Amino acid sequence: MSERRSSWTLARFAAPAIPISAMGLPLVVYLPEYYINSLGLSLGTVGAAFLIVKLVDMLLDPILGGVMDGTRSRFGRFRPWLVIGTPIVALGTFALFMAKPGVGPIYLWFWLAVLYVGYSMVVLSQTAWGAVLSSDYQQRSRIYGWWQGANVVGMILVLCLPPIVTGVFKGDHLDSVRAMGWFIVILAPLTVLLAVTTVGEPSAAPRRGKTGLKQYAKLLTRPSVQRLLVADLLMGLAPGIAGTLFLFFFERMKDFDKTQAGVLLLIYFIAALAGAPIWPMLAKRVGKHRALVVASVVYAVVQVTAVITPPGNLVLGMIVLVLAGLPYSAAPLLVRAMMADIGDEERLESGVDKTGLLYAIVTGTVKLGYALAVGVFIILGALGFDPKTPTAAGDAALVGLYAFAPAALGLVVAAVVLRYPLDATRVAEIQRQLGARDAAERDAPAAEPQAHVLPQQVPAPGPAE
């Protein structure tokens, strides 16, 4: 299971992330506005639906993770759930993106719930599947590098759809929203079919022990899991806040119009795509947690640099957005690669494979980060910001929340992850003990598996891991 997977294999594995990530951006940026201005639902109704459904959906993740851990089939543990979740995503997407005037709040609430159930199944099953594609410390970073690259490609493609629809095909805003929906509805089944039929899934060990809500809560008490959760939450929340305020900041504080700001946003995501292969390469040289420290510090410095960039200078604005985009991919791919290492540590100590539960934790963290990012508007308004009337206090609040607050979160992540315990040397020892135990169990299948405790002293890693 530790062999090096080919780039073509990893590209096929990652392909479903393209339509799924393409769904995430419209859900935040385009769909709420579509239901308010085009379909006539109230601001309060739409805001409550998107926020509450997303928060309630978080409760589904540990249940799904436990069920996936207990799944045993000839098709694998995680691939069946990827297949089951895909038509649910397609159906929910079609209902929401193709809705016409006359739909009411119940319609929105119901189909949002359907869509998020499918989304949870697909994202959780794919990321957990990635964890078992290799047991190698370095290869896991490479696997999630491809996965994150596909995520960014999806966001770039969906950002390109509105100008193509309106500029080339002379459509309107409603046509743009529907084009995004069709992009997801058509591409999701095709990419999932490609992935599950051409990329295998290693056989799971016989099921031992329970994996449910109690075990989920116990995993949250592990120090290594807690450090990763803080890193994933804050490194998701920081760009979430900055992204929410992006247009306000660059239009008001940097004197760019909407078209120029849109170009800068596209450049940001292109840089994020370019950054996806950088972080696995750095992790190979210095270790995953140190690579994440570097990414968070770079992000913090660049975010503050945006404040001193001269207004109206598009070239400098592009440079700053390129530098800000490069670390965007680091946390999603490195945290998930590190969570796979924790899965090995947990299996060695408890004797139970809890991969699904562990990835349910990081899936829930992403959702919580998105939900918390919405609250930035409440804080911004309380600090005196008015989107129509500039004031000194409001502009200061905008600068502080766009630049300094995310930068501070990045530095907190660096401090938290710096002492992360699972480096390459320790993971190698875990892999050695797991291999020895698994071999012993194959020779004595009737023997009851024993939980192992990791040795207290592990040689310190060298300068390059």
For the purposes of burial, counting CB atoms within 10 Å of the CB of 442, is it exposed (0-12), middle (13-18) or buried (19 or more)? exposed
Give the Å distances, CA to CA, from 379 to 96, 240, 241, 260: 29, 14, 11, 27
Distances (CA, A) of 315 to 265, 267, 270, 431: 13, 11, 16, 49
**From the CA atom positions of the chain, what is the Rg in Å?**
22
Give the angle subtended at the CA of 410 by the CAs of 405 and 413, to the nearest 5°: 130
Looking up tokens 């804080």 gives 379
Which residues have CB under 8 Å from 396's CB, separation 6+? 383
H or E element that contains 15: none
Residue type, 117: V
pLDDT for the residue numbered 459? 47
Identify whether the C-beta of residue 409 lies closer than 8 Å to the C-beta of residue 234: yes
- Least confidently predicted of 81-95, 138-152, 181-195, 339-353: 339-353
Using alpha carbons, select from 188, 187, 185, 212 the residue that is nearest to residue 69.
Answer: 212
Q: Which residue in this structure is represented by tokens 């966001």?
A: 155
Tokens of 219: 């995993």
**Which class does domain 1-202 fall in?**
mainly alpha
| Least confident stretch, 18-32, 289-303, 318-332 | 18-32
Predicted local distance difference test score (pLDDT) of residue 2: 53
Instruction: Please state, in angstroms and rounded to a whole number, the distance separating the CA atoms of residues 324 and 407.
Output: 11
| Angle at CA of residue 334, ends 124 and 357, nearest 5° | 30
**Each residue's pLDDT tens digit, 397-428:** 989 999 999 999 999 999 999 989 888 889 98
Say yes or no: do domains 1-202 and 210-438 share a fold: yes
Decide if pLDDT at 281 tops 90. Answer: yes
pLDDT at 210: 67
Structure tokens at 46: 């739409």
Q: Is 73 within 8 Å of 132 (Cβ atoms)? A: no
Lowest mean pLDDT among 247-251, 443-447, 460-464: 460-464
**Dist. CA 16–CA 86, nearest whole Å:** 9
Handedness of CA 255, 34, 101, 19 (dihedral sign): positive
How far apart are the C-alpha atoms of 303 and 293, rounded to whole Å?
15
What b/e string do you get for 370-409 counting C-beta neighbours within 10 Å, with b at 16 or more? bbebbebbeebeeeebeeeeeeeebbebbbebbbebbbbb
Q: What is the mean pLDDT of residues 35-46?
A: 82
Model pLDDT, residue 206: 66
CA atoms within 13 A on the CB side of 349: 13
d(CA 42, CA 50): 13
Distance CA(434)–CA(349), nearest Å, equals 10
The listed range with the strongest mean pLDDT (91-95, 171-175, 212-216) is 91-95
At 112 the pLDDT is 92
Distance CA 403, CA 242 (A): 7
Could you tell me the pTM of the whole model? 0.82
Stretch 121-138: mean pLDDT, rounded? 92
Pairwise CA distance, residues 405 & 242, whole Å: 9
Residues 6+ positions from 119 with CB-CB distance below 8 Å: 20, 23, 57, 85, 89
What's the CA gap between 35 and 105, in Å, rounded? 10
Cα–Cα distance, 333 to 199 (Å, whole number): 20
CA 15 to chain centre: 15
Q: How far apart are CA 40 and CA 79, in angstroms?
A: 40
Using the predicted structure, report yes or no on whether residue 295 has a pLDDT greater than 80: yes
Q: In this structure, are residues 422 and 342 in contact, taking their beta carbons and an 8 Å threshold? A: yes
Q: Which residues contact 259 (CB under 8 A, 6 or more apart)?
A: none
Superfamily of domain 210-438: MFS general substrate transporter like domains (1.20.1250.20)
In the chain, pLDDT over 90 holds for what percent of residues? 41
Spans of all domains in the chain: 1-202, 210-438
Contacts of 233 (CB under 8 A, 6+ apart): 365, 368, 369
In the chain, how many H helices and how many E strands? 22, 0
Tell me the three state secondary structure of residue 444: coil
